[in-house]
């Protein structure tokens, strides 16, 4: 395996296919982002930094920038600090139910940030379920009511970042030989010292990567500041860009949105490039054996208390908010105690009759399904046409991953500029139609198709294709008879992953939505802004249920290959699959 590059097959793919794929990817990725950079640097038709100066001269923008930096930095600090501890506990100790804890880290899959924010407010907000229960029990004495504004934003962004940091720590620790720490213990180091002297130096690159990813994801997030920040007067760069586009139609404010998006995108690119370098330079070669059962660090008398604390944290952070959301959706009036007499399905019936909700459901379903099909197809084409080791084969996948690293807000503005203007020939604009959203989703989630399929292709023994060729099968026939069956599980996983991610997408569609075009995320946000708490909760619950269903299918799919190839343990079965990790890194 070391010498023969797996998946490299004689002949490769036809040049026309490679050219076509390159053109499509360039059109989806390079063109809109390039257009954004170009337009922002030429606000009046010539090169000038005036747009940047102009947008930064506003005090409100500078405040938003400050808020973004501070909230992201704090959220990153909290998320990485707790994520390392959780990752270490799961990877290296005899914590009870470690496997379950690792799986629960995947929770952002079914819980998009803005839904989490909504649920959080339903639980702990000023009129939340927990305060009302508390008040009923304690006759109105004290519970903090300060979850709106900056504090809430930091907290919720940190919750969102924690799984990213935890999963990265987990996978890094599973590559670092646990025996190194033992050698330090025998040499006379206590457990903490051994961790500091041996494991931490090897963990730094991953921690830096986690910090960078959480920071970019936090700074790119729109849902949390929109739901929790703005009501408390705490706006960030993403909500600022949103207000430029949504509450004004002047050219000046559009120019400002472009300039600010370009700056945000550049900032994210710098951070991601820095951690990319860091990972490449710091990746020390390790023996890479996860500890055997005998090598786990015994927690002794801390075992149960720690497990209980983690379970409690999960209940407080995830379960109670979700239950509160469900209760709010099921009660007649806000603030009612969740007693049988107060329960009703009225909110759900009302949502089902709301025109915007019906439209959103319809649009989200077909746009997500089509985007999933398109990404699966395009991902397959990219994967199949980049099996060599040349420049093209390295550049194209990197290009395909670019929009996912770009903040969603930036992608949306880039697509308005790139594909939202009047198209030649047909003489119509995609702006204000669901097609523009579809196109932006294809770009944004393209990486979900490319990476898993490329990984699956490298696992395909080239000898299988060679054997088919020797038996007389042509290129297409081989693709159909040998390659496609091998890729089927990965293709299905891609489809589901794109579908469920698109289904709860908010950031991009919030900027691309129009009066007759909306998505589930946008509809939830609008209902929330209108103050219709019951309908908001009901629609959010529906959204979570649909996403959870798709996620359950996806999890089942990931376990399938393991069951079929019993005895040959594969990554996807034993630990959270790569696709999930990618999703956890999302900064939607």
Partner 1 sequence: MALSVALEGVICRYGDVVAVDRVSLQVASGRSLALLGPSGSGKSTLLRAIAGFVEPVAGTVRLGERVVASNEIFVPPEQRRLGLVHQQYALWPNRTVREHVLYPLKLRGVRGPERERTATELLAALGLTELAERRVTRLSGGQQQRVALARALACEPEALLLDEPTSALDAQLRESALAAIRAARQRTGVTVVFVTHDFREALALGDELAVLDRGRLLQHGPVRAVYDAPASPRVAELLGYENRLRCRVLRRTSNRMLLALPGAGAGTVDVPCTVYEPRTEALLMLRPADLLVADVGAEPQQLHATVTGMLYQGESTRYLLRGESSEPLTAVVAGPPAFAEGAVVALTLRGAVAFPV
Q: Determine if 185 is a binding residue for partner 1 (CB under 8 A).
A: yes
DSSP H helices in 174-250: 179-186, 191-194, 200-220, 223-224, 237-246
Contact predicate 585/164, CB 8 Å: yes
* Distance, first Cα to last Cα, the chain: 37
Q: Segment near partner 1 (CB under 8 A), from 1-9, 23-31, 73-81, 174-182?
A: 174-182
Going by the DSSP 8-state scheme, the letter that residue 343 receives in this structure is B
Assess contact for 439 and 430: CB atoms under 8 A: yes
State whether residue 406 is helix, strand or coil. Answer: coil
Q: Does 173 bind partner 1 (CB under 8 A)?
A: no
CB of 191 to partner 1, least distance (A): 8
Which residues, other chains included, contact 505 with Cβ-Cβ below 8 Å and sequence gap of 6+? 112, 408, 441, 444, 519, 521, 588
Please give the residues from 35 up to 94 whose contact with partner 1 meets the rule CB under 8 A. none
**Which of 99, 140, 298, 556 is the binder for partner 1 (CB under 8 A)?**
298
302 binds partner 1 (CB under 8 A): no
Name which of 293 and 425 has its Cβ closer to partner 1: 293
Question: Rounded to the nearest whole angstrom, what is the least distance from the CB of residue 278 to partner 1 in the complex?
Answer: 15
User: Rounded to the nearest whole angstrom, what is the least distance from the CB of residue 193 to partner 1 in the complex?
Assistant: 8
Contact by Cβ (8 Å): 54, 256? yes
Work out how close the CB of 472 gets to partner 1 at its nearest, in angstroms, rounded to a whole number.
Answer: 40
CA angle 16, 22, 24 (to 5 degrees): 105
By CB under 8 A, tell whether 179 contacts partner 1.
yes
Residues 431-460: x/- map of binding to partner 1 (CB under 8 A)?
A: ------------------------------
Closest CB to partner 1 among 231 and 295? 295
Nearer to partner 1, 194 or 582 (CB): 194
Could you tell me the smallest distance in angstroms from the CB atom of residue 194 to partner 1? 8
| Of 292 and 476, CB closest to partner 1 | 292
- The answer to whether residues 102 and 168 touch, using CB atoms and an 8 Å cutoff, is no
Q: Work out how close the CB of 192 gets to partner 1 at its nearest, in angstroms, rounded to a whole number.
A: 11
Measured between alpha carbons, how far is 490 from 496 in angstroms, rounded to an integer? 10
Helix (H, G, I), strand (E, B) or coil at 216: helix
Cβ proximity to partner 1, 38 vs 204, nearer residue: 204
Spatial distance between the Cα atoms of 474 and 413, rounded to a whole number of angstroms: 44
Query: By rule CB under 8 A, what string of x and - marks binding of each residue 188-207 to partner 1?
Result: xxxx-xx--xx--xx-----
Structure tokens at 381: 């084409």
389/336 Cα distance (integer angstroms)? 63
Residues between 255 and 294 with contacts to partner 1, criterion CB under 8 A: 284-287, 289, 293-294
Pull the structure tokens for residue 365. 């379903």
Nearer to partner 1, 209 or 396 (CB): 209
Interface with partner 1, residue 184, by CB under 8 A: yes
Residues lying near partner 1 in the complex (CB under 8 A) are found at: 177, 179-180, 182-191, 193-194, 197-198, 201-202, 284-287, 289, 293-295, 298
């Amino acid at each position: 395996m070391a010498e023969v590059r797996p998946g490299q097959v004689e002949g490769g793919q036809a040049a026309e296919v490679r050219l076509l794929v390159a053109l499509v990817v360039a059109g989806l990725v390079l063109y809109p982002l390039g257009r954004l950079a170009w337009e922002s640097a030429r606000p009046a038709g010539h090169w000038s930094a005036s747009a940047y100066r102009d947008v930064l001269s506003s005090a409100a923008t500078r405040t938003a920038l400050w808020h973004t930096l501070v909230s992201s930095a704090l959220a990153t600090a909290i998320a990485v600090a707790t994520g390392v501890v959780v990752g270490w506990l799961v990877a290296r100790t005899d914590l009870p139910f470690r496997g379950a804890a690792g799986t629960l880290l995947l929770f952002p899959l079914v819980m998009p940030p803005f839904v989490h924010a909504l649920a959080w407010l339903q639980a702990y907000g000023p009129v939340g379920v927990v305060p009302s229960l508390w008040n009923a029990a304690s006759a109105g004495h004290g519970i903090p009511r300060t979850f709106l504004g900056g504090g809430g934003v930091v907290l919720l962004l940190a919750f969102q970042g924690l799984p990213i940091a935890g999963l990265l720590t987990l996978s890094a620790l599973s590559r670092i030989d646990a025996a190194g720490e033992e050698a330090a213990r025998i040499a006379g180091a206590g457990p903490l010292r051994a961790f500091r002297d041996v494991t931490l130096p090897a963990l730094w690159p991953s921690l830096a990567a986690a910090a960078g990813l959480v920071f970019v994801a936090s700074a790119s997030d729109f849902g949390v500041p929109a739901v929790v920040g703005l009501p408390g007067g705490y706006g960030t760069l993403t909500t600022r860009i949103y207000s430029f586009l949504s509450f004004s139609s002047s050219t000046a404010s559009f120019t400002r949105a472009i300039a600010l998006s370009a700056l945000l995108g550049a900032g994210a690119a710098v951070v991601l490039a820095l951690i990319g370098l860091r990972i490449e330079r710091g990746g020390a070669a390790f023996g890479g054996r996860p500890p055997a059962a005998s090598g786990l660090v015994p927690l002794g008398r801390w075992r149960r208390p720690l497990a209980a604390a983690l379970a409690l944290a999960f209940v407080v952070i995830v379960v109670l908010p979700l239950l509160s959301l469900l209760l709010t959706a099921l009660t007649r009036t806000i603030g009612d105690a969740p007693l049988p007499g107060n329960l009703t399905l009225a909110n759900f019936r009302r949502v089902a009759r709301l025109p915007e909700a019906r439209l959103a459901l319809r649009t989200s379903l077909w746009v997500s399904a089509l985007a999933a099909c398109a990404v699966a197809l395009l991902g397959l084409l990219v994967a199949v046409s980049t099996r060599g080791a040349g420049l093209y084969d390295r550049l194209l996948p990197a290009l395909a991953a670019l929009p996912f690293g770009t903040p969603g807000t930036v992608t949306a503005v880039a697509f308005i500029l790139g594909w939202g203007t009047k198209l030649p020939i047909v003489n119509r604009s995609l702006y204000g139609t669901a097609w523009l959203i579809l196109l932006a989703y294809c770009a944004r989630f393209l990486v979900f198709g490319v990476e898993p399929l490329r990984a699956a292709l490298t696992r395909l023994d080239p000898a299988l294709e060679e054997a088919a060729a020797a038996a007389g099968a042509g290129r297409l026939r081989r693709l159909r008879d040998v390659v496609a069956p091998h890729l089927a599980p990965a293709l299905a996983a891609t489809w589901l992953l794109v579908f469920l991610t698109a289904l709860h997408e908010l950031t991009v569609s919030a900027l691309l939505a129009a009066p007759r075009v909306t998505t589930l995320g946008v509809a939830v946000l609008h209902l929330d802004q209108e103050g219709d708490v019951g309908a908001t909760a009901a629609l959010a619950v529906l959204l979570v249920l649909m996403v959870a269903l798709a996620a359950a299918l996806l999890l089942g799919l990931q376990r399938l290959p393991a069951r079929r190839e019993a005895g040959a343990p594969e990554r996807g079965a034993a630990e959270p699959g790569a696709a999930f990790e990618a999703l956890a890194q999302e900064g939607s």
